Structure 1
Amino acid sequence: MTDDRPELREPDLPRTAKSRPNALRTGWTTGACAAAAAKAAATALVTDKPQTSVEIALPSGRRVGFDVHRCDVVSGQRAEAVVVKDAGDDPDVTHGAHLTAQVGWRAAAGLELRGGPGVGTVTKPGLGLTVGEAAINDTPRRMIGYSVAEVLDVSQRGVTVVISVPDGEKMARKTTNARLGILGGISILGTTGVVRPFSTASWRASVVQAVAVMAAQGESVAVLCTGGRSEHGARALLPELPEVCFVEVGDFTGAAITEAVERGLTSLVFVGMAGKLAKLAAGVLMTHYTRSRVDTDLLARISESAGLPAAVVDEVSGANSARHAYEIWQREGVLAAAGADLCARVADVLRRFSGEALAVDVAMVDFAGSELVASSGRWAA
């Protein structure tokens, strides 16, 4: 595990409304809060002393501090800590959630991670998690592992970490978890550890501003990415472009394109993953998960065009998510062909939305943002 550990850098304070008066305040993901609680509990277990604060490393290597709301040690065998989630200025249903970690010794070496009350259980495929396990995504799992490893060597003495969220099942009713097959609570999420307010009007304004700045510097190509991982993939595809050309648009693709046309840009590259591309291909340019859903009938038509048999096309039609369809394509050996079709459809939608004013290329990257899966034709996967 230590070989995969993020590079640690000097502490860097998070951006806040206080440090940037006109900026929205960022917050912390459930994954970051769970990792902080796990480290606090592990530290209390090792030292036999309750902790009031803790510092962890985010996936970027940036180190951040958290206040510990509560920390208890039970008989030297088990410790529990609570970190309260601050979602910043994002309208997040888990804002104020008490991310709770219980850490106890176990006979075997290694770290065993489990979900407790308030953390959902995966019941359907397509989420990148094994059916039956706790809905704790890959990056939070690694963050929890890194954070505990900063306190003790789990190769020598094992621990069990149980993450729970009081009232998590109630919070989950305000999400799409049940439709996705995550039952009994919330998901522990986050790819960066930081919550940025993607869903607000101010974030839309920041996207428009980023395109305007790009145009003001004489650039003609806008590279739109849905987030940090897709931007990583985009930079690998277009290393010759300056940083200003890359814009994390979140859910505001339409606003970015409108601004690009008004500013006289001539080319657009969109780089994303299967979920956002599936929504864009259906003509939905506001892709926030609470406002739109994936059109699996469209994905089924793409599957049929890729030559898949009727039974598999029906399976895609009933897919739990775009990722589930992606995994079926991958299993059937048609991922490149189906992905290229999907990218071409997105390119057509974006080109028409721009009034044919922009030359458009679209690329799909994998869910880590590290590999090109398919494109509308510019790149060979």
Structure 2
Amino acid sequence: MSTPAPLRRGWTTGACATAATRAALLRLWGGDWPETVSITLPRGERPVFAVAHRAEGPGWAEAGIVKDAGDDPDVTHGALIVARVREAAGGVSFRAGEGVGMVTKPGLPVPPGEPAINPVPRAMMEEAVAEIAADLARAPDVEITISVPGGAALAERTWNPRLGIKGGISILGTTGIVRPFSCAAWIASIHRGVDVARAAGLYHVAGCTGATSERVVQALHGLPDHAMLDMGDFAGGLLKYLAKHPVPRVTIGGGIGKITKLAQGAVDLHSARSQVDFAALATLSGVAEVAGANTALEAARLAPDLGQRVAEAALARLSERFGIAADGSPIAFDVVVIDRGGAVLGRAA
């Protein structure tokens, strides 16, 4: 049997924006348009990017890089990341062009009223400007406008609307590298969701495993959109962050299979990384036939009160492991278990 080829890495929007900035600035300050540009990433790697878009006018130049996310299913894969540069007094400043969002809520790494360009990409672009300015004996005084054609539509498939980022995507990245299926972006979005909820003074948030459980939980508790954290399979990513950045009340909602795993001690709920222990479910339910079930839903049909028992077991596990935050403050959990159609099988608080 042949060994599968390794998954291909990609580059973050921040890395692409930096490469585009470098290409545009080289042209603005009198050079020829480069075919490719190389940038230095935070850990010292120097990837090369092909310049896919070029334009210029009086006092400005812009370049674009097509984002290659490698083999990661990134929503911005294939997007054109454009940087327009022009000289402007006062150091390096940033503007949001078409398809790049503006921050409207506190709690994010950049304050309200600023373009959604995160600190590391900003630092990478500032370093690129400083390097070229030193080479060409120029003052490093540049206004950089980042645009992503179609970015507003892409943003609807991200957390940005809930995080209060309006009008487009964010320019992200801490290393410049997208690692396939690392899930780092999803977990980072969960963390930013907690940050925004805390900054807004929310007392109650909810982490749900999917759209159906989210709809049910939001209706049960009347929570605003920015209280809903798209936890997915990453219960650990949410719970461990809450332990250090607590919110007083947290609802966890999901299908009986996912919540059973949580009740049995798993915090990564993906089917490839955790499984339901049906023998333990049989003990929990008191129905021996449950041990031979193929799915948690089948087990629930065999033991009609199993959803409630799972909710109570999950609540006990959550309260024991995460009920006291690192600063000593309590976190009150409640659990909602549903079936595939959204019917509530169990609730515990």
Name the TM-score class by shorter chain.
0.5 to 0.7
Residue by residue over 1:90-137, the C-alpha shift from the partner in whole angstroms, topping out at 9 and shown as x without a partner, is 22221111100011111x241111111111112222323211221111
TM alignment of 1:1-381, pairs within 5 A: 22-75=5-58, 77-106=59-88, 108-153=89-134, 156-198=139-181, 227=184, 320=226, 339=246, 352-354=264-266
Q: Is the 8 A contact 1:139 1:190 kept in 2?
A: yes
Gapped runs of 5+ residues in structure 2? Answer: 198-204, 230-241, 253-260, 267-276, 281-316, 331-349
CA offsets per residue over residues 13-60 of structure 1, 9 Å max, x none?
Answer: xxxxxxx95222121111111111011111222233111111111122
Specify the SS of the correspondent of 2:146. strand
Cα 1:86/1:336, change in 2 over 3 Å: closer
Larger radius of gyration: 2
Secondary structure class of the residue paired with 2:18: helix
Aligned length: 251
Q: Show structure 1 runs of 4+ deviating over 6 A.
A: 290-297, 335-338, 340-343, 372-376
Identity %: 43
Task: Determine the C-alpha separation between the residues in 2 that align with 1:125 and 1:59.
Answer: 26
Distance 1:43 1:191, change over 3 A: same
Structure 1 distance, partners of 2:217, 2:123, is 31
Q: Secondary structure at the match of 1:320?
A: helix
- Contact 2:14–2:172 (CA<8 Å) still a contact in 1? yes
TM-score, normalised to structure 2, is 0.56
| 1:173 Cα deviation after fit | 2.5
Q: CA RMSD in A?
A: 4.8
Paired with 1:47 and 1:120, the residues of 2 have a C-alpha distance of: 31
- Cα distance 1:122–1:340, how it changes in 2: closer, same or farther (>3 A)? closer
Distance 2:212 2:138 in 1: 45
| Residues 113-172 of structure 1: CA deviation (Å, up to 9, x unaligned) | 111111111222232321122111122111211222221149934111110111111222
- C-alpha deviations, 1:333-369, integer Å up to 9, x for none? xx988649899x9xxx96732589x9x977x99xxxx
Distance in structure 1 (CA, Å) of the matches to 2:76 and 2:244: 39
Q: Deviations for 1:187-206, whole angstroms, at most 9, x for unmatched residues?
A: 111222112232xxxx6xxx
- 2:174 is matched by which residue type in structure 1? T
